[in-house]
């Protein structure tokens, strides 16, 4: 069975993440939640999503267990911020040729995770 990581490939996954952060940088609904310089944030996201989608455990090897909710607690993540994050990720995924079932699977998994990050109404 092919993992989503194998189906999309590292190069395309990393391109999606770079495009996502281009969108985030321009999105006043959520860009205040991110540092002005996004290179390190994008690097960690690439490590995490590689692992999250069935590739090598890059994030855990460098940073330990992801503990996503704990790492996001310092930030006020509202349902609106979650929705903006997901909208930007959806746009980035749509910008690349990715098989629809793989794209849908990735987005569904990210939607569940993003909902789990909400910590402020």
Instruction: Give the number of domains in the chain.
Output: 1
CATH number for the domain that contains residue 46 = 1.10.490.10
**Exposure on the CB side of residue 45, measured as CA atoms within 13 A:** 17
According to the model, what pLDDT value does residue 57 have? 97
- pLDDT per position as a tens digit, 62-117: 999 988 888 888 889 999 999 999 999 999 999 999 999 999 999 999 999 999 99
Select from 21, 30, 24 the least CA-distant residue to 77. Answer: 30
Rounded CA-CA distance 21/11 in Å is 16
According to the model, what pLDDT value does residue 76 have? 92
**Residues near 72 by Cβ (< 8 Å), separated by ≥ 6?**
117, 119
Q: What are φ and ψ of residue 99, in 5° steps? A: -55, 135
pTM value is 0.93
- pLDDT per position as a tens digit, 21-59: 999 999 999 999 999 999 999 999 999 999 999 999 999
Average confidence score pLDDT of the chain: 96
Tokens 């040729």, residue?
97
Query: Helix (H, G, I), strand (E, B), or coil: what is residue 53?
Result: coil
Domain limits for position 49: 4-117
């Amino acid at each position: 069975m092919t993992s989503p990581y194998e189906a999309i490939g590292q190069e395309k996954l990393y391109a999606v993440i770079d495009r996502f952060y281009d969108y985030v940088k321009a999105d006043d609904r959520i860009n205040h939640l991110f540092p002005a310089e996004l290179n390190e944030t994008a690097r960690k996201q690439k490590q995490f999503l590689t692992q999250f989608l069935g590739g090598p455990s890059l994030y855990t090897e460098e940073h330990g267990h992801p503990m996503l909710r704990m790492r996001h607690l310092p930030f006020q993540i509202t349902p609106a911020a979650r929705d903006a994050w997901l909208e930007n990720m959806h746009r980035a995924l749509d910008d690349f040729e990715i098989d629809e079932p793989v794209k849908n699977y990735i987005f569904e998994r990210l939607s569940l995770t993003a909902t789990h990050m909400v910590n402020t109404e």
